[in-house]
Amino acid sequence: MRTRLSLAFLDTATPGVRQLASAVALVVALVALAVIPDIAVEVPLVLGASVMIGLATLAAIVLPWERWNDRWTLVIPLVSLLAFGIFRLGTGGATSVFASLLLLPVVWIGAERGRICVAIAGVGTAIAMALPYLVGAQAWVPQQGVRVLFAPLIFAMVAAVVNELAAHGRRQVAQITELAREQERLLEELRGAEGFNRSVWNAIRHQAVIITDTCGRIVEWGPGAERLLATSRHDAVGRSAVEFLQPAGSEGSHGLEFESLLTLAEQDEIADGLEVRTSEGDLVPVDVTYTARLDRDGRALGYILVAHDMRQTREAARLKDEFVGSVSHELRTPLSSVLGYLELARDDEAGLSETQSHYLAVADRNARRLLALVGDLLFVAQVDAGRFPLELERLDVRRVVRACAESAVPTASAAGVTVSVEVPEHAVEARADAMRLGQAVDNLLSNAIKFTPAGGSVTLTVAREGDELRIGIADTGLGIPSEEMRRLFTRFFRSSTSTRQAVQGVGLGLNITRAIVDAHGGRIDASSVEGEGTTFEIWLPALGA
């Protein structure tokens, strides 16, 4: 590699630098002539050769060779080759010890581009070697003729090797140059991308972006984190991310492991119910999302946590709930009055025509639907405010389920849906509020009937399994798309199935049902296959016999 690059240097260096070797070699030869008295010297020839080398060196340095074709630079080594031939002639001719000087211009000529340079080196060397015989300074001797033929051949072979190595060197230099350009281009792109990423990073000021390693130690702390937590990057890097996070209402006790945070965020996509404590001691409610930080092989290097400031969102939700609760409360009184007067009007059936009775029945039905909606809104407001009253008692759940099924029979019959109940013979008891639990079952049963086409069926089951009891409501209806199951219990959410079928409702029933079940210390599960049906299961702590 080093040889090839050094030979490539002969191709890229200036003529003055390349000629420097011949000039130095001539000076060394002249010093040798002065030191060694036994060498026969013809002063005019040696002086002439020295002048030629000097002029060639001066020309190599002074003339603007870069303006001309590269081939013109061959004039300098050819002049040097002839000068060294004359120098050889003046220091003994065929017996001169300075024949090796011819090698220097030969190397220069051989390093030039093209195979023709090898031939030029061989012919030039042959002329230089034969110069004593061409000018008649020495008589032709067959033994010397062999040298005249053999030496140029050797020099030509040297020129050929140099030419090949120089070509390889030039190609490597070209490749290295191209790689350097490509590297510079990539570095420029990398600098641009880094500047862009830095600009984006600095622009994220309304979310706290925290980058950690796999153990949860902070390795980068965004401007938004500095703003939200009033903590500088210098003070945050190296600490655990959960030092800044705690469950809401934990009063300073974190009670949160980094793995638990990731599991919570992974399951729910957003870890809510958390707070961050600023350096001033203020608590800020946040939701946290995270993304794994991967290397190019897909291995986790750490995590990117994004904490969203929920103060404005929570305040807006609180104001909305207050507004809904206030409006619902104000609507309930006039609605009750309307229903009372409708009932009085319908009692006087003797004075009403059939059409008038029908109109009053429609008005009464819609007023009751509106009153039920107002009741749902008030119930939701009570849940949000933490004022959710329950009258708990020892309750046989079978009785609640049978009552709900009996109440739903007229609606189911009108829709062509069969309702069946499967309960065990022995009591299945829980500590529950009969009215609220009945409301939860009614909501699920009502939905099942709405979304089951005529000819379908709805089955209610009650069973005890270990320390829990299960209330199941299974239908053979339209089902719910799998991508919508996650949002099923979200307030005001209506599935695409209900939208397509134009089923009445505002999306509060399932949210209210889950709130009731949660208040009883239970849980609710749902599974569905689109086009086959849906199953809801309420699980409650069971009481012993």
pLDDT in tens, 40-69: 788 888 899 899 999 999 998 999 888 888
Q: Which amino acid is at 478?
A: L
DSSP codes, 348-410: -GGG--HHHHHHHHHHHHHHHHHHHHHHHHHHHHHHHHT------EEEEHHHHHHHHHHHHHH
Query: Count of alpha carbons within 13 Å of 398, Cβ hemisphere only?
Result: 11
What per-residue confidence (pLDDT) applies to 6? 47
Query: Can you tell me which residue has the tokens 């309930």?
Result: 332
Query: Can you tell me which residue has the tokens 């590269």?
Result: 70
What per-residue confidence (pLDDT) applies to 5? 41
Q: What are the residues facing 459 on neighbouring strands?
A: 420, 474
pLDDT > 50? residue 3: no
Q: Which amino acid is at 315?
A: E
pLDDT bracket for residue 388 (50, 70, 90): low
Q: Cα 211 to chain center, whole Å?
A: 13
* Closest to 286 measured CA to CA, from 262, 313, 319, 304: 313
What per-residue confidence (pLDDT) applies to 480? 81
Please tell me whether residue 508 adopts helix, strand or coil conformation: coil
pLDDT bracket for residue 198 (50, 70, 90): confident
Q: Confirm if 317 and 380 have CB atoms less than 8 A apart.
A: no
* Closest to 447 measured CA to CA, from 517, 403, 495: 495
Q: Confirm if 314 and 321 have CB atoms less than 8 A apart.
A: no
**Between 261 and 92, the higher pLDDT residue:** 92
The tokens describing 63, both together, are: 């003339």
289-292 long-range contacts, CB within 8 A, separation 24+: 289/265, 290/261, 290/262, 290/265, 290/266
pLDDT bracket for residue 387 (50, 70, 90): low
DSSP codes, 298-364: S-EEEEEEEEEE-HHHHHHHHHHHHHHHHHHHHHHHHHHHHHHHHHHHHH-GGG--HHHHHHHHHHH
What per-residue confidence (pLDDT) applies to 267? 47
Query: Can you tell me which residue has the tokens 């002074």?
Result: 62
Number of residues that make up the chain? 545
Helix 509-519 with 354-385: angle, nearest 10 deg: 50
What per-residue confidence (pLDDT) applies to 2? 44
Average pLDDT estimate for 192-207? 84
Query: Count of alpha carbons within 13 Å of 445, Cβ hemisphere only?
Result: 29
* Closest to 536 measured CA to CA, from 505, 514, 503: 514
Please tell me whether residue 256 adopts helix, strand or coil conformation: coil
Q: What is the 3-state secondary structure (H, E, C) of 284-300?
A: EEEEEEEEEEECCCCCE
pLDDT > 60? residue 10: no
Give span(s): CATH 3.30.450.20, the chain.
Answer: 204-309
DSSP structure class, residue 138 = S
Q: Which amino acid is at 127?
A: I
What per-residue confidence (pLDDT) applies to 51? 92
**What kind of architecture, by CATH, is found in domain 317-385?**
Orthogonal Bundle (1.10)
Q: Confirm if 216 and 241 have CB atoms less than 8 A apart.
A: yes
The tokens describing 301, both together, are: 């290097």
Q: Could you give phi then psi for residue 275, rounded to 5 degrees?
A: -135, 150
What per-residue confidence (pLDDT) applies to 248? 59
The CATH code for residues 204-309 is 3.30.450.20
Q: Confirm if 25 and 18 have CB atoms less than 8 A apart.
A: no
Rounded to two decimals, the pTM is: 0.44
Query: Can you tell me which residue has the tokens 């529950």?
Result: 432
What per-residue confidence (pLDDT) applies to 450? 85
Give span(s): CATH 3.30.565.10, the chain.
Answer: 393-541
* Closest to 477 measured CA to CA, from 440, 510, 444: 444
Average pLDDT estimate for 419-446? 87
* H or E element at residue 457: strand 457-465
Please tell me whether residue 12 adopts helix, strand or coil conformation: helix
pLDDT > 80? residue 19: yes
pLDDT in tens, 31-42: 888 888 777 788
How many angstroms separate the CA atoms of 79 and 74, rounded?
Answer: 9
- Sheet containing 533-541: give its strands across: 418-422, 457-465, 468-475, 533-541, 523-529
Q: Confirm if 102 and 80 have CB atoms less than 8 A apart.
A: no
Give span(s): CATH 1.10.287.130, the chain.
Answer: 317-385
**DSSP H stretches of helix in 494-544:** 496-500, 509-519
Average pLDDT estimate for 203-219? 84
Its sign, for the CA torsion 262, 268, 269, 273, is negative
**What kind of architecture, by CATH, is found in domain 393-541?**
2-Layer Sandwich (3.30)
Q: Confirm if 458 and 473 have CB atoms less than 8 A apart.
A: yes
